[in-house]
Chain A
Amino acid sequence: MKKLDYYRFRIIKDYVAHFLVYLSLVAALIPLFSILYEVVQRGISAINLNFFINPTPTVGEKGGGVANAIQGTLITMGFASLIGIPVGLMSGIFLSEYSEHKLSMVIRFFNDVLSGIPSIVIGVFAYALIVRSIGFSVIAAAFALAIIMVPIVTRTTEEALKLVPLSLREAAIALGVPRWKTVATIVLRSAKKAVVTGMLLSIARIAGESAPVLVTMGYWRWWFASLNRPAANLALNVFVFAMSPFESWIVLAWGSALVLILLVLGVNIAVRVLTKERY
Chain B
Amino acid sequence: MAPKFEIEDLNAWFGSKHVLKNINMKIEENAVTAIIGPSGCGKTTLIRCLNRMHEITPGARISGKVLFNRVNIYGNGIDPVMIRRKIGMVFQKPNPFPMMSVYDNVAAGLKLNGIRDKKNLDEVVRRSLELANLWDEVKDDLNKSGASLSGGQQQRLCIARALAVEPEVLLMDEPCSALDPIATAKIEALIRKLAENYTVVIVTHNMQQAARVSDYTAFLYLGELIEYGPTKQIFENPKHELTERYLTGEFG
Contact = CB atoms under 8 A, between A and B. Distances in A.
Contacts of B96: 171
B165 A176 contact: yes
Nearest to A178: B81
B127 interface: no
B162 A174 contact: yes
A82 interface: no
B108 interface: yes
A190 B162 contact: no
Interface stretch (A17-25, A115-123, A181-189, A255-263): A181-189
A100 B58 contact: yes
A177 B112 CA distance: 7
Contacts of B93: 167
Contacts of B113: 176-177
A170 interface: yes
A185 B111 CA distance: 11
Contact of A176 (B59, B84, B97): B84
A87 interface: no
Give the most central of A165, A175, A181: most B CB within 10 Å. A175
The interface centre, meaning the residue of A165, A167, A176, A177 with most chain B CB atoms within 10 A of its CB, is A176
Interface string A168-206: 101111111110011001100110000000000000000
B99 A189 contact: yes
B99 A176 contact: no
B192 interface: no
Interface string B100-118: 0000000011001100000
A100 B93 CA distance: 26
Contacts of B56: 170, 173
B53 to A, nearest CB: 6
A88 to B, nearest CB: 23
A195 to B, nearest CB: 13
A252 to B, nearest CB: 47
Interface string B38-78: 00000000000001010010110000000000000000000
A172 B88 CA distance: 11
A165 B84 CA distance: 20
Tier of interface size on chain B? 20 to 34
Interface string B158-177: 10011001000000000000
B13 interface: no
Contacts of A172: 97, 108, 112
A168 B112 contact: no
A175 B88 contact: yes
Main secondary structure of the interface of A (DSSP, over half): helix
B191 interface: no
B202 to A, nearest CB: 15
A111 B162 CA distance: 40
Contacts of A189: 99
Nearest to B111: A185
A171 B97 contact: yes
A171 B53 contact: no
A186 B97 contact: yes
B95 interface: yes
B84 A171 contact: no
B26 interface: no
Contact of A175 (B59, B82, B85): B85
A161 to B, nearest CB: 14
B89 interface: yes
A177 B97 contact: no
A165 B99 CA distance: 13
A168 B91 contact: no
Contacts of B88: 174-175
Contact of A174 (B89, B97, B99): B89
Contact of B95 (A100, A167, A178): A167
Contacts of A167: 91, 93, 95
A174 B92 CA distance: 13
Given A175-B109, A178-B81, A170 B165 contact: no
B181 interface: no
14 contacts: A165-B95, A170-B91, A171-B95, A171-B96, A171-B161, A173-B53, A173-B84, A174-B91, A175-B84, A175-B88, A175-B165, A176-B81, A176-B85, A176-B109
Interface of B: 51, 53, 56, 58-59, 81-86, 88-89, 91, 93, 95-99, 108-109, 112-113, 158, 161-162, 165
Interface of A: 100, 165, 167-168, 170-178, 181-182, 185-186, 189-190
9 nearest A-B residue pairs (beta carbon):
A176-B85, A175-B109, A174-B89, A167-B95, A176-B84, A100-B58, A177-B112, A171-B95, A178-B81
Given A173-B56, A176-B109, A181-B112, 16 more contacts: A100-B58, A165-B95, A171-B97, A171-B161, A172-B97, A172-B112, A174-B88, A175-B85, A175-B88, A175-B165, A176-B81, A176-B165, A177-B108, A185-B112, A186-B112, A190-B99
